[in-house]
A and B are shown apart, each in its own frame.
Chain A
Amino acid sequence: MSNSARSEIFARLRELSSKASEEDIQRDRRALGSAPAPAPETLEICEAFLANVLKNHGSVDCAGNRSEAVKAIGYHLYSHFRSHRLVAGNDRRLAAMPWRDAGVLPRFGSLEVGEPVALSFAQLGVAETGAIVTWTGKANPAANNFLPEHHIVLVDTADLVPTMETAWARINQEFKKNGRPRGINFIAGPSSTADIEGVLVYGAHGPRKWHVILMGKVPASALEMARASNMPA
């Protein structure tokens, strides 16, 4: 059934097509060039990224190194949940963090019922939109991205890219190295909905709170400037 529908549809589309060759079509597409991206308000990529995470109703922290990062995670866990436990994806980079420095006890796996916090290590951070990017695999179970009450995400400054196009250029490199993942997620904020009377509410299905820790060489003023640009005028 589907095959005859397929033939009919393609036959009709063939009638309408210009019968151009694949090379011609590719050349025409290339001639159209690339899309304009929004100019970032600041050229410093850490600041731009942090400012947009804040704009997306995420909270942020900076950590100069892995030890500071685990301490920041520990602080967040303790202040919100009075606990040192969390679930984290099976990411080699996460496994190698100095968890003892903060007394945090991660369980590596997929979020289960009753676990409120999950931790991910983003593959990329996109300054343009304040999004983090993960792709599916044991390092990023879907449950960890979409089901916890709190989602904590670590982003390395080395993985920051300016725009969605540059993000896709890196994703294409990943494709070449490891093949195409089942899913690629750009996550830019806690889960939200305005479906009831247009009133914005967080935690529609996914996380209510989204906390991003930017790890690495972050310029001293970046966080302050990012917060300042999000103050109401």
Chain B
Amino acid sequence: MEQHSDSFLDNASAALKNTEQAKRLDMIAVFAPQMRTAAVAGFKEFDALRDHVKRIRQHSLDHLEHYLGQFEHEAVNNGNHVHFARDGEDLNSIVLDICQQHDARRIAKGKSMVTEETSLNAFLQRAGLQVMETDLGEYIIQQAGETPSHIVAPALHKSADEIRQLFQAKHDLGARELPETVDLVGEARQVLREHFLKAEVGIIGANALIAENGYSMLVTNEGNGDLCANLPRVLIVCTTIDRVLPLAEDATAMLRLLVRSATGQSQTSYTSFYSGPRRETDVDGPLETHFVLLDNKRSEILAGDYREMLECIRCGACLNHCPIYTSVGGHAYGWVYPGPMGSVLTPLLTSLEQSQALPNACTSCGRCAEVCPANIPLPDLLRDLRHEESVKKLSAPRWRFGLKAHAWLARRPSMYHTVTAIAINVLHLLGRKRGSFSRLPLAGGWTSERDFPAPQAKTFMQLYKAQIRQNDE
């Protein structure tokens, strides 16, 4: 996907003025945490499960070479073709090759953030193929020419009215008005069913790959991924190498965390495991199946300080609980992954230089870490990225200088107390009548949104030392 993370502040500014979107985001901010809390409360062992799955993921990543090899072996035994892709370009070429080998014209696609990373749709479309997103949210944004704003519900930033207008423009509705949301869903169901039935190739993602038996796991509520996996004659599953888990029961353990954290459910309508083409006893299913396993810097991240980020299961809980995400929405982040997880992943998958603002879009409030089902210390990782920016001198000079000056002074207590006493006394004298400043030199950022409270009096140190002198006398 094209990246616009370098205009995060401008994007955020525009988003804050969008009152329609603000309503959608406020709804997420209030309801998503409630639903997650209720789902977690219903499962007393949730924290124990988090710890268990964390150990499984760490073990899997420690032995990724072994488990990836095992998955490949089992998947091939099940009749799959297994391909490896270094980067996005690789993956796109492999997928196009497969489609062209089968003279495919139409592709039915399930939701896959990995294929957003690689801009697969645009690549296939340039080669003359028709790619239809079948997840309702992805379909809506595809029709609107937009990118996903949330990793679980990509079109949540759009109102029902906007979607209605979109369908009126893009579908042949005749006299139908589609007054309610259920009508909009019914309309999409009709249109998309045609595509499921006519597509030659189905492309889906995977929530997990199971090493012991070569299956992928697909988790949806709509069932669109399953239609992509069962109806077209070719199936391509695209995902990344770090998704491998040792056993089937590890996938179901992870599933228990994923669903509660993502939507507040205890399970989704469809949890499916697929591996291989049509068997003798099958009456349907693809004649040929492929796994395309992407690296795209995962092995690099595995070797580095941000390795824990690979344990992310893409539940979106951190987005839902992040006050910055729910203020500005997903598009402000400028790439595939928004919110706290996106602010760590985007610098790692693109570059820190291109995504400088993102690790700074954080108050370290800690809510993300609290709700993360993978126990990823997101605030720590974000701060470490800010550290990298500091070392690489990417942050603005006035901040770097200001902080170093403050630190220099703070290490010299007598000088610090003298200097601050002078500054505070001046500010106190100037501000004591009104109580606060609406403008203050060097504090433009602060005062653009709020007044700057005036100091109460002299500094504590001045007053306390005076007290001591008095007591001594």
Interface, chain A (partner B; CB < 8 A) = 1-2, 5-6, 8-10, 12-18, 20, 22, 25, 28-29, 32-39, 52, 55-56, 90, 109-110, 129-131, 136-138, 141-143, 145-147, 164-165, 168, 171-172, 175, 179-199, 201, 203-206
Contacts and interface: CB of A to CB of B under 8 A. Distances in A.
B467 interface: no
A164 B252 contact: yes
9 contacts: A9-B86, A13-B65, A17-B65, A34-B249, A38-B44, A129-B267, A131-B271, A182-B276, A204-B222
Interface in B32-70: 42-45, 48-49, 52-53, 55-56, 59, 62-66, 68-69
A26 to B, nearest CB: 9
Interface of B: 24, 27-28, 31, 42-45, 48-49, 52-53, 55-56, 59, 62-66, 68-69, 78, 83-86, 90, 93-94, 134-137, 140, 153-156, 158-160, 163, 181-182, 184-186, 188-189, 192-193, 196, 213-215, 221-224, 226-227, 229-231, 241, 246-250, 252-253, 255-256, 263, 266-279, 281-285, 295, 299-300, 302-303
Contact of A206 (B83, B222, B266): B222
B84 A6 contact: yes
Contacts of A206: 222-223, 226-227, 269-270
B223 A18 contact: no
Contact of A32 (B52, B136, B193, B271): B52
Contacts of B49: 35-36
A180 B269 contact: no
Nearest to A12: B299
A195 B59 contact: no
Nearest to B186: A203
Given A10-B68, A37-B256, A143-B231, 8 more contacts: A9-B84, A16-B65, A35-B53, A38-B266, A136-B284, A181-B279, A196-B155, A204-B221
A142 B28 contact: no
A201 B136 CA distance: 11
A201 B185 CA distance: 7
Contacts of A52: 266
A197 B84 contact: no
Given A184-B272, A187-B269, A205 B283 contact: no
A86 B225 CA distance: 25
Given A9-B295, A142-B231, A205-B223, A32 B59 contact: yes
Given A35-B53, A38-B42, A205-B134, A185 B59 contact: no
Contact of B222 (A9, A109, A137, A191): A191
Contact of A193 (B59, B66, B221): B221
Contact of B241 (A9, A35, A37): A9
Given A29-B247, A183-B229, A194-B153, A18 B62 contact: yes
A205 B193 contact: yes
Given A180-B275, A183-B230, A203-B185, A197 B223 contact: no
Chain A CB within 10 A, most for which of B31, B48, B94, B181:
B181
A226 B61 CA distance: 42
Contact of A14 (B65, B222, B281): B65
A203 B189 contact: yes
Contacts of A172: 248
Given A16-B64, A32-B59, A191-B221, A137 B86 contact: no
A200 B68 CA distance: 37
B267 A2 contact: no
Contacts of B136: 193, 195-196, 204
A180 B140 contact: no
